[in-house]
Amino acid sequence: MRRRAAVLATAAAIVSGCAGHGGTGPAAPAPLGGEAWVERTLAGLSLEERVGQMLMARISGDFSSLASPEFRAVAHQVEALGVGGVAIGIGSPPEIALKTNALQALAKVPLLIGADVEYGPGMRLWSPTYLPYLTEGGGGTILPYNMGIGAIGDTAAAFAAGRLTARESRAVGINWVFAPVADVNTEPTNPIVNVRSYGADPHAVARLVAAFVRGAHDGGALTAAKHFPGHGDTGVDSHVDLPVLRVDRPRLDSLELVPFRAAIAAGTDGVMVGHLAVPALTGGKPVPATVAPEIGTALLRRDLGFDGLVITDAMTMGALRHLPGYSPGEVAVWAVEAGADVVLGPPDVAAARDAIVAAVRAGRIPAARIDASVRRILAAKARLGLPARRTVDPDSVMRLVGSAEHRRIADELARRSITLVRDSASLLPLAPRAVHSVVLLTFAAPTELNAGRTLATELARIYGHAERWRLSEASTPAEVDSAVSRAARADAVVFATFYAPVSGQGFLRLPDRVLEVWRRVRATGRPVVGVSFGDPYGTAALEGLGTYLLAWQPRGEPAQRAVAAAIAGLAPITGRLPVSLPGAPLGSGTPRPAVGYTPPDGGLVRVGMGACAPASGDPLLGRGVAGRGMPGAAPLGGRGCQGGGARGCCIAQPRRSGMTPITPARERP
């Protein structure tokens, strides 16, 4: 009850700007030490509490009241079951900070709070889209996917990504980043690794993995290289079923294990073991690495000499469900027997704790084995400085998350990652003085409302006129016909895809609708620039696509701004392929210098969202344009601007007199 009262006190302190337990912003981990605290704390824990330290619960990152069922359930796991950590999901930065502070206030021992932030804090510190207005809120900084960092090929870029990720994560209370991804993506059909990997060259991946680890440490967070022993050469999503890596030990040593050795040498705090089988290591049987002592203990601990935290991937994933004898408790025991220190997200936390405790009391797991894991966990908490200050200062959220410095880094990494795979007709750059109308065809899941919006705005700013047609599998034949018809009359077409791995989807491929539209657009004979903002493999296979750019990030604005600048020649194109594509080997690329053109100084000014009528235009705006009371203004219409029923419009307005007005990007379905 006292700790529950502390939660209320902490919440009040957050509002007043002074969180309990010595609130702080991110700081570098404390020097190795804290042995006295570790031993004192360990001695004060019962067997049940020691086992609890090895379990990591899960909670969403969005707002929930202290009385909500989800928060109460996780609060029980923290207070009564004594879990040692919590993995947090998607939420806005202040929501996550509130929740991590509240959970820390409940814990007898400070919590490790982890999150998947592989492509920057924006992977979890979400920027929400508010309907019906289709406005986007603020969130964490979104960086290129790891494969985009691989296209840059610079360890300084990976270090900067790691440091930025750690700083924003620590600002909201996340102290353990489940990154970097150390998988080497050598299988083009891999449905879940793909752009999450730095690339297909194990030594290049190793250098970037090590640099990320060093950067994250500099930013004050723990790391966990994943998914051991390597998920890159598989064709199955482990969220759905069990991937099987059919390679021998010499091949593992020469490829999959190279980045993990580099991560260990760089001092990674953890290694996340994946739910994938390597029969060559388990007597020919397809046993998930998570529950295989031959992998978690013999290979990782003994052969690679790793003495940090071994953490499982989430124990709710489909790869484990078909194991003979599976139960939520027994699978947790298997993971500990295999070498895990931290069992991530057991489907039933209480059953997992009780089963492990019973296994110790029955002599199945030595008590010394539990103590060794708990010492590692407590030592990691000591390195983070959690015994002295476990919560965060709310002021650091607004100061650090999405800061101007971090936005500059995101823009720079996005610009440097742009890769021109091929340009057989020397189409790029599209000269802004020769091209006056651009049609942007975007292909994304129906839920990706903002895919291409920033790109359309930038293209309109540069070329004077741009239309955006948002297409998906849900698009009607009439919408497709209209989009193709408009593309046939444009000076140039940008054909952009926004597809990337989705956990649990089980596949990654271009929808049939994309292939259909591509065939029709190609037949128009118009100049086409193909751009993939995610999966590089699928779009590369479009027959006859002569100009193909890779941008490496389907979310956020930096990649879209970088693509517009690259197309127009306003920025150089310098990226190199970190994987092999048809006709384009690893390391290849087609550099382009900047041409130095300066576009007219105009741009979109968003007004009256929620007040303007679609397509036909707002009466007030119409009168203003007709009467020249709004020089350079033009209505923005189309269903794509409504965003689920909202009525809205934008106008383009020159920022200085004497400049040519710029027509806005016309959003279509």
Neighbours of 350 (CB within 10 A): 15
CA separation for the pair 314, 88 (Å, rounded)? 12
Question: With contact defined as beta carbons under 8 Å apart, do 586 and 201 qualify?
Answer: yes
Does the annotation mark 465 as catalytic? no
CA separation for the pair 233, 259 (Å, rounded)? 14
Q: List beta partners, residue 573.
A: 592
CA separation for the pair 538, 526 (Å, rounded)? 22
Three-state DSSP at 228 gives strand
Buried b or exposed e, range 421-453, using 16+ CB within 10 angstroms: bbbeeeebbbebeebebbbbbbbbbeebbbbbb
The three-state DSSP-derived secondary structure of 298-355 is: HHHHHHCCCCCEEEECCCCCHHHCCCCCCCHHHHHHHHHHHCCCEEECCCCHHHHHHH
Does the annotation mark 239 as catalytic? yes
Question: With contact defined as beta carbons under 8 Å apart, do 223 and 216 qualify?
Answer: yes
DSSP state of 80: T
CA 189 vs CA 56, 135, 194, 236: distances in Å: 32, 35, 8, 9
Sign of CA dihedral 93, 98, 101, 102: negative
Contacts (Cβ under 8 Å, ≥6 apart) of 606: 650
CA separation for the pair 147, 211 (Å, rounded)? 14
Three-state DSSP at 474 gives coil
Which of 239, 275, 406, 465 is an active site residue? Answer: 239
Question: With contact defined as beta carbons under 8 Å apart, do 547 and 422 qualify?
Answer: yes
Which of 183, 313, 393, 618 is an active site residue? Answer: 313
CA separation for the pair 570, 592 (Å, rounded)? 10
Question: With contact defined as beta carbons under 8 Å apart, do 326 and 288 qualify?
Answer: no
Helices 35-43 and 367-383 cross at an angle (nearest 10°) of 140
CA separation for the pair 621, 494 (Å, rounded)? 29
CA 156 vs CA 22, 54, 302: distances in Å: 33, 34, 31
CA 312 vs CA 55, 121, 235, 288, 620: distances in Å: 10, 21, 20, 11, 59
Question: With contact defined as beta carbons under 8 Å apart, do 249 and 288 qualify?
Answer: no
Instruction: Extract the tokens encoding 639.
Output: 């269903």
Catalytic machinery residues: 239, 313
